[in-house]
Structure 1
């Protein structure tokens, strides 16, 4: 590691990555964790580059950037026209990026395109961290074929009134269901209160098919556990764990494996074996300070690429379980068969026909 005035240069593989303002505080100290500087974030990413690249390699990846670090009260932008936000998603590679940073061209639901960071080496990740990236948000596709996902992502999102123990229970039921169908799931914490379960799949289906597979799985989980819901509208979810099927849409991403999260204590979205997950009581204990030492026992996601599964069993659940199509996010165009995008408590039956179309007065 070489240093220069007000900067540090990290040697990352064959690259030298300049880290400006290395002493900037990115995370404040908490009762249980010391403060974290920008240099420590970059060093964390460099140290975990191997397993991070195993999860991110060749995937278009949005950067969740916090240029001034993350501190209590800071806010993530809700859209491109939110100038008062402190953090934001960088979906297009910023101007001035080094010419050795690789990209992939992706297409948004609107039809617009962007050249997005596509990590292929450790230096790419450390450069992104130097730019203030805390969380990497990879697409479920790889650069050779950006229109056909090779990952099914099951986002188990605890609703108010639920505990992490509830999420663990639902995650284990998910593991059992997948195993019954001949599929192997891999778990990680979200870095907050949730759990993500990944399944490697053959890249031969559309985003819509993968989303339907997630709905089918969610509906079977609802049948097995009354603490699970696929209700899109928050007012209908109750104190249950929500299977967020819409995270499998085009341009929807979740925190990448080993990514830091913008929360107190520098928590990490941490891959775990199923046995390890069963022992986690407080996911906040998995953070920048504790996670690197866990890798001494190996990468819990090693072997994920050994088998690419067929989605047919989950699509069969989608076809056979009742319920039909569910709502898409509000920024999506109206999709075929989609229910009305009206909060149930605000829907007046007389204003809608049986097909879910609004009837003009």
Structure 2
């Protein structure tokens, strides 16, 4: 017996493509009964905005064997059987090894990724033509236990002011869960470590202004009931869910771009694969044209240098990174040896 399958017509810059979807009835979100076909249709509906935000970048695919409650894995190498119309680009990883990653240039490529059981898309902050120099400064506002989305909102508004003082216009989206992601388009003239230092400089300045509300503490035991400013998401090969990407959460939420004017009146629960297509039709894409006037991180790097002279040094890197120059000891504070 032939396996169940269907075909979707996907418009794109090179005309329509007929994309096969096998097992279209497989349920991905059990609580809602949403299927693989529902997800593929969502990607068709939001395809133009999705590619505008995530296209022309190396992208990792978060794939699921059955549904979002089951086993998952990340694809960084192109899966076998990648269609000829989907290109790749070679990138260098923190280990200094390099290999190709997928680049999505049209909605049909995203639909094919769904066919390969992708739910969440993780684009790099750099373009395929210059993978070593990010063109986006990204800051992840992550509410810690005891805080929630409503705590991230005032932090995001204050961060917008900080970045404006540094000469950067910024854009915002929901994380799809409890947090917020702030993006500032920048000229791709600085490498990842510089951008990381710029993020730390902005985060430290926000921490000085809101010491009881936000934190840059890497160790969870030191964060308290605050919003964590996750500076390590600015590192090479560290990504967050892309704009308009679904999330592997029970309510089929989407990491959705919003306008700053909306921020204080929305709930992240408002944005799902069922609601975002109609939102795009009625509200439009708040990130349209976001790359028209990129800024520079020069002012933020000046703040970084000032903090260095004041005794504020490097912060911890992710545990899988090689030991980095100036990095403090990688040991949980409560387990550190106390001086005799």
Q: Partner of 2:197: helix, strand, or coil?
A: helix
RMSD, aligned CA: 1.3
State which of 328, 331, 335 in structure 1 corresponds to 2:320.
331
2:167·2:296 contact (CA, 8 Å) conserved in 1?
no
- Confirm or deny: 8 A CA contact 1:28 1:265 kept in the other structure: no
| Distance across 2 between alignment mates of 1:107 and 1:5 | 39
Gaps of 5+ in 1: 75-85, 352-361
Q: Is 2:257 the counterpart of 1:271?
A: yes
Which residue of the other structure, out of 191, 200, 208, is the alignment partner of 2:176?
191
* Contact 2:173–2:256, Cα closer than 8 Å, also in 1: yes
Distance 1:155 1:178 in 2: 14
Q: Which residue of 1 aligns with 2:46?
A: 48
Residues 64 and 136 of structure 1 are in contact (CA less than 8 Å); yes or no, is this contact kept in structure 2?
yes
Q: Which moved more, 1:119-128 or 1:321-330?
A: 321-330
Which residue, 4, 7, 10 being the options, matches 2:5?
7
The counterpart of 1:345, out of the listed 318, 334, 340, is 334
| Match for residue 203 of structure 1 among 188, 195, 198 | 188
| Partner Cα distance (1:198, 1:39) in 2 | 31
Question: What does residue 130 of structure 2 align with?
Answer: 145
Displaced runs of 4 or more, over 3 A: none
Residue 356 of structure 1 corresponds to none
| TM norm structure 1 | 0.89
Q: CA deviation at 1:349?
A: 3.6
Alignment of 1:295-310 (within 5 A): 295=280, 296-310=282-296
Report the counterpart of residue 250 of structure 1 in structure 2: 236
- Counterpart Cα distance in 2 of 1:309 and 1:54: 19
Equivalent residues of 1:21, 1:38 under 8 A apart: yes
SS for the counterpart of 1:306 is coil
More displaced stretch, 40-49 vs 319-328: 319-328
Shift of 1:285: 2.4
Alignment of 1:228-243 (within 5 A): 228-243=214-229
Deviations 1:133-161 (A, max 9, x none): 11110001111111110000010011111
Q: CA shift at 1:350, angstroms? A: 3.5
**Deviation larger for 340-349 or 36-45:** 340-349
Flag structure 2 segments of 5+ consecutive residues without an equivalent: none
When the two structures are aligned, how many residues end up with a matched partner?
A: 330
Residues 25-174 of structure 1 mapped to structure 2, 5 A cutoff: 25-29=27-31, 34-71=32-69, 74=70, 86-174=71-159
Partners of 2:65 and 2:40 lie apart in 1 by 13
